Amino acid sequence: MKGARFLSGAILLGLLVFPWASTSGEEAATLTLVGRVVNTQDAAVDEAKVRVFVGGEETEVAHTDADGFYVVELTLSQALIEAETVAVEISKPGFRTTRQGFARQEFACAGDHCHARAPDVVLPRVFNPAFFLATAIFMVVFGLISLNLLHETIAALVGVAAMLGMSYFMGTSNSDFWIISFHRAISFIDFDVIFLLMTMMIFMAVTSQTGIFQWLAFQTFRLARGNAFLVVAILISITGFMSTVLNDTTVMLLMAPVSIEIALVLNIHPAAIVVPEVLASNIGGAATLIGTPPNIIIGSYVGLGFNQFLVNMFPIALMSMIILLGMSRWLYRTEFDRESKPPSAALIAKLEADARITDPTLLRKSLLLFGATLVLFFVGDLFQMPPVVVTILGSTALLLWVRPDVSHMLREVDWTTLVFFMSLFMMVGGIQEVGLIQLIAESVKGIAGDSLLLATLLIVWVSAIFSAIVANIPFTAAIVPVTVFLTQTIPGAENNVLYWALALGAGLGGNATYIGSAPNIVAAGIMDRAGFRLKFEDFSRVGVPVTFVTILVPTLWILIRYFWLRF
């Protein structure tokens, strides 16, 4: 039955009604209904209820599949078909119920079997109580996460529980309160993202045991011979580079503690090192598919490959890194120009003790397999291999080779973050089901019209502003469907420029405040535990101007590349 749905390849309701020539009234005939249901954006509406009426009496109920298609096959008496009309009624919570009748001349008959195909059935949205409740739940969760009033994972779980609870307690008796089913919510979880993050965490858990990151930081200090800004410039560059191939949050977990120790040795405030490092981690992460969660979400949802991100986003990240270096020197000039005393021998000894390679053999194995994984990222497109498959192959090979304590490795995986992502995807599914995403998409489309230039500017700056106010991960998950709609409907957008605009705005916009992205929150927490509280205004005093310039310049580059040079 499902194969017939796909093979039908058509767009809406198809009806098949059978012969009425016989007068016996007892002969059976086959009535087949085939069709497709879409919304006002021409996107498939799945799980819509299809009710078939013959002579005003309901005879069959079916549901649309993921592509919006359905097939219904009935066996009825010819006398009933001859005497009565046939109609199809399509309904789904959050949509206006639509009914369509069929005239006999629309049927194509052969023997005792008839069929007909109608135009696509378009279901308009209705903004019922479920719409406002789901929107309110999502905004409350956004506020809890953004203002750091509740742990992000707990907040996301609260949001999912509220949407599901509302659906089952109230929605089962009144469809106006139905938001989303559990089965439907689970279908919105992007397991490509979940497994990619999990396998990269395994890589990091193994590699971090070698002490390589602390060793790099101490060698930076020795190389710079105590020159404060030179130390910071090298650490910024190392952090940015590592964030292109490693999760940016993990990089900050490893770099921030040793950077605080180096700041104490240099007699400067740790913020002068840690804050630029955080900004560098977000900028470096924006360069590749695997560097930052927003890119992972965009790439997985749209189907963009590692090389596509590298070609389009790496130049942007490189420009932004150069800007960051110059602005860091100027914004922290008081710290860097301060006359410092020679560092104490005790501090240097502690720094050196913390920066030893603890397991050279494990380091060699980790670097070898990590290098092989990176190569596979570049050539994976030749085999049509998704990035998540690359990381699964690499991390599994590493575990087989080094044979670590499995229970320890599982504890090193950040399950809290993974649960947050799964809950977030389910919440976004909820607001997508009630029509909020569709409303936003149509509003942006209404402003941009058919102007790809205006749409690009809107995506860049709206995503940057919202990513500064709220966490960029949930914002990206919510806005990707909007960007897909704009790409499909605006002439010329098939060059994917809107996706790069979103990656730029969401990735770099999170640098404006310390609640804008996960690495910012992690770094602020590490500094607080070390006794150096990083206030919101202190971070923003640096983050806002850096964000503005690092988005403005690459935006100009995107406009030149895609709208004037056309390459």
Specify whether 78 is located in the same domain as 153: no
pLDDT at 337 > cutoff 90: no
Annotate 3-26 with b (16+ C-beta within 10 A) or e (fewer): eebeebebbbbbbbbbbbebeeee
Note whether 100 and 134 are same-domain residues: no
Query: Does pLDDT of 166 surpass 90?
Result: yes
The span from the CA of 194 to the CA of 411, in Å, is 16
Query: In sequence order, what are the residues at sequence separation of 6 or more whose Cβ sits closer than 8 angstroms to the Cβ of residue 345?
Result: none
Q: Could you tell me if 66 and 179 lie in one domain?
A: no
Structural domain includes residue 298: no
Q: What is the pLDDT of residues 376-385, one digit of tens each?
A: 887 877 787 8
The last residue of a domain, from among 68, 93, 123: 123
CB atoms within 10 A of CB 56: 8
Q: What is the mean pLDDT of residues 327-351?
A: 74
Picking from 123, 153, 169, the residue at the C-terminal end of a domain is: 123
Residue 419 pLDDT greater than 70, yes or no: yes
Q: Indicate the residue type of 336.
A: F
Does residue 534 lie within any of the structural domains? no
Whether residue 322 is contained in a domain is answered as: no
pLDDT tens for 439-485 read 877 787 788 888 888 899 999 998 888 888 766 777 787 788 889 88
Q: 335: alpha, beta or left, given left = phi > 0 and alpha = psi -120 to 50?
A: alpha
d(CA 520, CA 279): 8
* Domain coverage including residue 170: 129-187
The pLDDT value recorded for residue 340 is 58
pLDDT in tens, 115-144: 777 778 888 888 899 999 999 998 898 788
Query: pLDDT for 385-396, tens place per residue?
Result: 887 888 899 989
The verdict on residue 149 lying in a domain is: yes
Mark whether 41 and 99 lie in a shared domain: yes
d(CA 230, CA 325): 10
Residue that the structure tokens 């021409």 belong to: 42
> Which of the two residues, 148 and 188, has the higher pLDDT score?
188
566 belongs to a structural domain: no
For residue 224, the model assigns a pLDDT of 66
**pLDDT value at position 25?**
44
Residue 112 lies in a domain: yes
- Residue 23: per-residue pLDDT: 36
Which pLDDT score, from 0 to 100, does residue 345 have? 66
Select from 260, 261, 305 the least CA-distant residue to 278: 260
Question: Residue 545: which pLDDT band, with cuts at 50, 70 and 90?
Answer: very high
Most confident range (mean pLDDT) of 261-270, 366-375, 522-531 is 366-375
Q: Are residues 138 and 113 in the same domain?
A: no
Residue 562 scores a pLDDT above 80: no
Whether residue 198 is contained in a domain is answered as: no
The token pair at 324 is 């960051």
Question: Does 109 share its domain with 6?
Answer: yes
Same domain membership, residue 110 and residue 137: no
Q: 37 lies in a domain?
A: yes
Contacts of 275 (CB under 8 A, 6+ apart): 523, 534, 539, 542, 543
| pLDDT above 70: residue 16 | no
Q: CB under 8 Å to 426, separation ≥6 — which residues?
A: 160, 163, 180, 185, 186, 188, 189
- Banded pLDDT at 158 (limits 50, 70, 90): very high
- Find the mean pLDDT for residues 350-354: 69
Which pair of structure tokens corresponds to residue 438? 């569709």
Whether pLDDT at 295 is above 80: yes
Confidence of residue 77 (pLDDT cuts 50, 70, 90): low
- 89: domain CATH number? 2.60.130.10
For residue 50, the cross-strand partners are 62, 90
Is the per-residue pLDDT at 21 higher than 80?
Answer: no
Predicted confidence (pLDDT) at residue 80 exceeds the cutoff of 70: no
pLDDT at 265 over 80: no
pLDDT at 113 over 50: yes
- Residue 93 pLDDT exceeds 70: yes
Q: 102 forms bridges with which residues in the sheet?
A: 86
Q: Which of 123, 146, 167 is the last residue of a domain?
A: 123
Q: What are phi and psi of 550, to 5 degrees?
A: -70, -15
Which pLDDT score is estimated for 5?
43
Strand partners of residue 39: 123
Does residue 20 surpass a pLDDT of 50? no
Which range has the worst mean pLDDT, 179-183, 284-288, 299-303, 352-356? Answer: 352-356
The contacts of residue 535 (CB under 8 Å, 6+ apart) are none
Q: What is the DSSP string of 280-291?
A: HHHHHHTTSTTS
Percent of the chain with pLDDT over 90: 19
Least confident range of 43-47, 275-279, 354-358: 354-358
Do 63 and 166 share a domain, yes or no? no
The number of beta carbons lying within 10 Å of the beta carbon of residue 564 is 8
For 214-258, what is each residue's pLDDT tens digit? 787 677 777 766 678 888 898 899 899 988 887 777 788 778 887
Tens digits of residue pLDDT in 296-318: 889 888 888 888 999 999 999 99
> Both 38 and 119 in a single domain?
yes
Please check whether residues 37 and 109 belong to one and the same domain.
yes
What is the number of structural domains in the chain?
Answer: 2
Q: Do 32 and 112 have their domain in common?
A: yes
Residues 48 and 146 in one domain: no
